[in-house]
Homo-oligomer: A and B are copies of this chain.
Amino acid sequence: MPQLRKDSVTGRWVIISTDRSRRPSSFESVPKPGPARLCPFCPGHEDNTPPEILAYRKSDTEPNKPGWSLRVFPNKYPALVVEGELIREPHGLYDMMQGVGAHEVIVETPDHACDMAQMNENTIRDVLWVYRERMMDLERDRRLKYILIFKNHGAAAGASLEHAHSQLIATPIIPKKVLEEIDGSRKYFEFKERCVFCDIVRQELIDKERIVNDYDSFIAIEPFASRFPFETWILPKTHQSSYLEMSESDFTVLAHAFKDILLRLKIALNDAPFNYVLHTRPVSKDHHEYYHWHFEIMPKLTKVAGFEWGSGFYINPTSPEEAAAYLRSIDINAQVQPEITVTVKEEN
């Protein structure tokens, strides 16, 4: 069973998850994108995955058979498992917990070769909608404190299978960066009596230079203190602390925003690997006034990552203003793109 362990100095929890045995040398082999005929996420291969939790499928088709347009099932090699009591226990100085939680895979399309930037907006809307469905279901489990939804696109971003999919990890603790955001936005609220993210949206609408696009109820920006080149956030323009507060019509707008941003990034960065993470309030219903949900999209362009992990100190060679100007200049319908130079620093 996986274990949650707490760092005694910083309070950060990590999952120690040791399900499969390999020799250390096999760390080196990056999983190659396989052909569709071997892909466990493709239609006809449903018996290669755990039984589905939920699927959007034609009404005359059976579960775990072809006929679906979107499919959710538990991760075959889960980082956390649903069964078990939530027992905190000491080990001398140290703290640990059983690795109780959920780890699900969301296969976004039956089409092996279609990535999210290529999907039509209805398909993207289904993906965004199923995030909501799974969150609402899992929020009923009292053991769970946070539901983390993310996507790895491309091997360098951690995807071991190329077929388009998202993942969900529901944890009995609140991830450290989420806690930091909540603490930071609470302090800002105590001082200003305004939501810091609402103020960021206002500031960006004044400055304009870091806006990639404005979609009625959502805005896409390159954040002022971007950690990575072309880091992009999508935020609701009005205050919403939880992803679950979105209206049905918001989902249509958000799907359009995703299509637009992912296509711009794909064209601008030659299909670079990326991750996105949904930042939303924890399962407990507080944090309503000062937290503000959003997506953070992080293209993986630079390799200078190791010491950033160790120090929390980021060096970004591309200014968000330049990145936003470049992304705005992309014509998502054109074949030939404008020649614009973006500044990048070589690491020595």
**CB closest residue in chain B, given A326:** B24
Are A9 and B226 also in contact (CB < 8 A) when A19-B343, A150-B310, A306-B274 are? no
Contact indicator A314/B14 (Cβ below 8 Å): yes
Complex Cα distance, B153 from A246, in Å, reads: 46
Which residues from 155 to 185 on chain A have a C-beta closer than 8 Å to any C-beta of chain B?
Answer: 155-161, 165, 167, 169, 171, 175-178, 180-181, 184-185
Q: How many copies of the chain does the oligomer comprise?
A: 2
Contact indicator B22/A181 (Cβ below 8 Å): no
Contact indicator A158/B307 (Cβ below 8 Å): yes
**CB closest residue in chain B, given A185:** B9
Contact indicator B27/A301 (Cβ below 8 Å): yes
Taken residue by residue from 79 to 98, chain A's Cβ proximity to chain B (1 for < 8 Å, 0 otherwise) reads as 10000000000011110000
* Minimal beta-carbon separation of A180 from chain B (angstroms): 5
Complex Cα distance, B184 from A322, in Å, reads: 37
Which residues from 132 to 159 on chain A have a C-beta closer than 8 Å to any C-beta of chain B?
Answer: 148, 150, 152, 155-159
Are A15 and B270 also in contact (CB < 8 A) when A22-B342, A307-B277 are? no
Instruction: Give the contacting residue for A152; candidates B188, B306, B322, B326; CB below 8 A.
Output: B306
Is the C-beta of A227 less than 8 angstroms from some C-beta in chain B? Answer: yes
Instruction: Give the contacting residue for A322; candidates B18, B156, B161, B171; CB below 8 A.
Output: B18
Which residues from 93 to 118 on chain A have a C-beta closer than 8 Å to any C-beta of chain B?
Answer: 93-94, 105
Instruction: Give the contacting residue for A310; candidates B165, B277, B309; CB below 8 A.
Output: B277
Further 11 A-B residue pairs, CB within 8 A, beyond A15-B316, A76-B348: A9-B196, A10-B177, A11-B184, A14-B227, A18-B322, A24-B229, A26-B344, A31-B346, A152-B307, A275-B306, A305-B309
- List chain A positions with a Cβ less than 8 A from chain B: 3, 5-28, 30-31, 75-77, 79, 91-94, 105, 148, 150, 152, 155-161, 165, 167, 169, 171, 175-178, 180-181, 184-185, 188, 196-197, 199-200, 202-203, 206-207, 223-230, 268-270, 272-277, 279, 296, 298, 300-320, 322, 326, 339, 341-348
